[in-house]
Structure 1
Amino acid sequence: MGYIRNAVLIHAPVEDVFRLTNNVRTWPELFTEYASSEVIEETENSVTFRLTTHPDESGTQWSWIAVRHTDAERKSTRSERNPSSGPFKHMTIRWWYDSVGEADTVMTWEQEFSMKPDAPFSEEHATNHLNTQTRIQQRVIKERIEARYQKNEQPEELFRGIIVGNYKPGSEDKIVEAFARSDATELPHLVGVKSRHVWTQGEIYVHFVEARSSLPTILKEYIQHPLFKDVKAELDQYVSLIYPDLPPMAKQIYSWTNTDGQQQVEAKSAESTSDKKVA
């Protein structure tokens, strides 16, 4: 039985490290070894996906299917590789995250595995290889996450976006309940939403969001997530876009800010995006 365990200290809050490292769709950008990550099936607390590596020294690409279970409360995951793929007879991977103060996280990875009789390399070779690669990937992830959360505690960059629509007057309580239920889950932490504000007037609905990613990016990466689909399905009963054939986000064309007497004015061109990055 092969076994390895490695940990790394990351200078970033545990919620952010957990969110960034557990979105398997973005692993090709987070890791250096994966060429693609394809989600096959997803539920609230688990995801089945296929990983494919970049070609190794011999030009071989490895690909396998894994099932990953998430415990958001403990900040931990457990993954099982599909035994029908790859050289491993079985592979269990556990990740867990522990906060150190308010600004640091220890991320620990543990792997248990055994090899198939016809595997092209021995268990000892696999152990040494996985140990080396795990340390490399943890270091890469540490560097990439810390690039977003510098030690000098620069102000956090946020994106602002507004969704404008029509709503059914009298459904305000239903809309509030839908958002309250959704915001009590791990979804806001997962997608990086920092705040939301919803206004209504007449039949007009305005939804203002501040997040660590732009609204188009959030929609692209998470629109198929079960928690996202649940709240969208509920809100669709009461809210509809005014212009369904246009992008859902309103386009910002002008902003004015008075900060400590220093006035900042910014006019947006017609080609500008709907989201505004702020610090």
Structure 2
Amino acid sequence: MQVITRSVIVDAPVDVVYEISNQVDRWPEMIPEYLKAEILRREGRKIWFRLTNADNMSWVSWRMLYPPLISYAERHEPLAPFTFNHLTWVYQPLPGNRSQMTWDMCFELVEDKRAEEPQWRQRMAEHTAANQEALREYIESVARKPESPAWQPVPVTGDAASATDNSVSPAGDSASRTENRRTENRRTGNTKQRARDEYR
């Protein structure tokens, strides 16, 4: 497994950074790597979408929103050449109405490409840096123009609490253990596990 972690400081409040950066359908305006972003459907906190990059390659991913501090995504189809590709974005408010945005990506290639993972990591780290800087510049330019439509909140359909609670239907002690685990993950800030717990 390969891990890429990179942070950037954005000169804008954390709620603005979260709202703008999670408007997936506007990513082609913000990030030159993407030619097209299509929202397929929304399921409470969860967004299904299709991305097309500058090489005209497309894939479907889903993204879970936990405003204003966390979003978590996984590549879904086609999954190849990965066995998995997960991405967590964490947002931290800073003094002076600034924010830190951290992207944490972990991935693994299919077995016959496993030896190429270090080279893939290098290329993906370069893309991460370029995409983060492009997004930072976009957000900061919009933050200076509050009349912009990009300030509109990210839609989360349905009741957020019920969307989370209804996603699990255990009984008895199992329900108690599940809730205790979720509470601990929230308390300790285990962001990736929290996102997975809420999805299940």
User: TM-score, with normalisation over the residues of structure 2?
Assistant: 0.71
- The structure carrying a bigger strand percent of its residues is 1
User: Which residue identity is paired with 1:40?
Assistant: L
Q: Which runs of 4+ in 1 moved over 2 A?
A: 83-86, 117-121, 156-159
What is the CA RMSD across the aligned residues, in angstroms? 2.6
Shift of 1:41: 1.5
Q: Does the 8 Å contact 1:62/1:86 carry over to 2?
A: no
User: Matched residues in 2 for 1:3 and 1:131: separation?
Assistant: 9
Pairwise mapping of residues 4-15 of structure 1 onto structure 2 (< 5 A)? 4-15=4-15
Deviations 1:77-117, CA, capped at 9 Å, x for gaps: 11111153342110010001001024101000000100013
2:104 alignment partner, one of 110, 120, 131: 110
User: TM-score, with normalisation over the residues of structure 1?
Assistant: 0.52
User: Matched residues in 2 for 1:19 and 1:34: separation?
Assistant: 19
Instruction: Report % sequence identity.
Output: 25
User: Matched residues in 1 for 2:49 and 2:132: separation?
Assistant: 21
How many residues matched? 158
Alignment partner, residue 166 of structure 2: none
Larger Rg: 1
User: Which residue identity is paired with 2:134?
Assistant: V
Pairwise mapping of residues 181-220 of structure 1 onto structure 2 (< 5 A)? 191-192=152-153
Pairwise mapping of residues 1-279 of structure 1 onto structure 2 (< 5 A)? 1-55=1-55, 61-72=56-67, 75-82=69-76, 84-119=78-113, 122-150=116-144, 157-158=146-147, 191-192=152-153, 226=157
Q: Does the 8 Å contact 2:61/2:77 carry over to 1?
A: no
Note closer, same or farther for the CA distance 1:104–1:117 as it changes in structure 2 (3 Å cut). same
Note closer, same or farther for the CA distance 1:84–1:148 as it changes in structure 2 (3 Å cut). closer
- The structure carrying a bigger helix percent of its residues is 2
Shift of 1:19: 0.3
Shift of 1:148: 2.6
Structure 2 SS opposite 1:82: strand
Shift of 1:39: 1.1
Alignment partner, residue 168 of structure 2: none
